[in-house]
Amino acid sequence: MIKIEKNKFDEFLEILKKEYNVFAPKKEGAQTSFKEIKFAKDIEFNNINTKIPKEIFFPQAEELFMYKDSKIENIEKKKAIAVWGVRPCSAKSFILIDKIFGRAKQKPGDKNFEDPLWKTKYDDSLVFTIGCNTPASTCFCNWVDCGPFDSTGSDVMVYDDGNGFLLEGISKKGIKFLSDIKDFEESNDKDRQNIEVLKNIAETMLSKPIDKDLLKVKIDKSWNHSIWDEMSAKCINCGACTYNCPTCHCFDIQDEGKSNKGKRIRLWDSCMFPDFTNEASGHNPRDLSKDRFRQRFMHKFKYFPENNGDYLCTGCGKCIQVCPVNVDVRDVLNKIIEF
């Protein structure tokens, strides 16, 4: 584990920039979101409530290819990406999306499908995850197999002890990167003890998780239950939750342009929208607000776990913060358990 004092962060950034395009939280107006960073002074280090970093690897609108006359032009590959300062809930979300877009064969008989746009960006990336010393009241990462210091999806874990950052290699890539950089001091026993203290404090700030076994039993039986009518009544079916969710990854494909020049783009889509499942025949299997509301939670807490072994939720709480009508995923889970 190496130690970087905050006033030496510029030096560290210079090293990182040699091989990577560096993304980090940057404050612009009232929002803090992940942007490409040239100077350490542009980084907002303390805001836990940044926008989610999904866009770095999975932009809202992404060109699949362009065409001009009758030629197809592929999109050029860019320099590898390093992301500084994502939270454990975001780092884990990369792994979850990778289960879909970056999937190599996971079990015999699986069809091998990989998404080149995701893989070219994500596979070479270096993810620096910063542990959350003070989780927010909307955080429920401990409910869904994540946590304020969970290292899933991280190449390097970063601990902020007030004076500086302690960097711990997690993945092979991360360990190699740290062993290659010189000029920074090694951490000592006291630093390591401090980290343990920070971890313990953070744990106590989180709420008691739900009973996951019970959730499984109940959600399996809930399909026709009236709780879905009750819970969805207030949902207005906008896409604020899905577009701010680190794990939502559904997309739409659109062609833009004319016959001799144009592009095919992939765009975020949302299961909350009525046209998401509208079929060419005019039939819509998820016609009602309730159907779409139920789908979102079923996908996250039933279908995805059944297919991939993990909840499609990392407990970041962003959807709770942005929902205009206060749909709280924790209330939804509690209602499912209690019916």
Under the binding rule (CB under 8 A), the answer on residue 289 touching other proteins is yes
Q: Note the Cα 32 to chain centre separation in Å.
A: 16
Under the binding rule (CB under 8 A), the answer on residue 47 touching other proteins is yes
Among 14, 39, 61, 214, binds other proteins (CB under 8 A): 61
Of residues 221-240, those binding other proteins (CB under 8 A): 233-234, 236-240
Under the binding rule (CB under 8 A), the answer on residue 252 touching other proteins is yes
Query: What is the C-alpha to C-alpha distance for residues 212 and 22, in angstroms, rounded to an integer?
Result: 37
Q: Please, which residues have CB within 8 angstroms of residue 122's CB and are 6 or more apart in sequence?
A: 57, 94, 98, 101, 102
Of 214 and 267, nearer to other proteins (C-beta) is 267
Of 136 and 175, nearer to other proteins (C-beta) is 136
Under the binding rule (CB under 8 A), the answer on residue 262 touching other proteins is no
Under the binding rule (CB under 8 A), the answer on residue 203 touching other proteins is no
Q: Note the Cα 227 to chain centre separation in Å.
A: 28
Query: What is the C-alpha to C-alpha distance for residues 260 and 262, in angstroms, rounded to an integer?
Result: 7
Name the H helices within 20-87: 54-57
- In whole angstroms, the minimum distance from the beta carbon of 52 to other proteins comes to 11
Under the binding rule (CB under 8 A), the answer on residue 201 touching other proteins is no
Under the binding rule (CB under 8 A), the answer on residue 331 touching other proteins is yes
The pairing of beta strand 81-86 with beta strand 21-28: parallel
Under the binding rule (CB under 8 A), the answer on residue 138 touching other proteins is yes
Buried b (16+ CB within 10 A) or exposed e, 111-132: eeeebebbbbbbebbbbbbbbb
- In whole angstroms, the minimum distance from the beta carbon of 301 to other proteins comes to 18
Of residues 307-326, those binding other proteins (CB under 8 A): 320-322, 324-326
- In whole angstroms, the minimum distance from the beta carbon of 201 to other proteins comes to 12
* # residues near other proteins by CB under 8 A: 43
In the chain, the amino acid numbered 5 is E
As to burial, measured by CB atoms within 10 angstroms (0-12 exposed, 13-18 middle, 19+ buried), residue 67 is: middle
For residue 154, count other CB atoms closer than 10 A to its CB.
Answer: 27
Residues in contact with other proteins by CB under 8 A are 29-31, 47, 49, 60-61, 134, 136-138, 233-234, 236-240, 242-244, 252, 254, 256, 265, 267-268, 270, 273-275, 278, 288-289, 320-322, 324-326, 328, 330-331
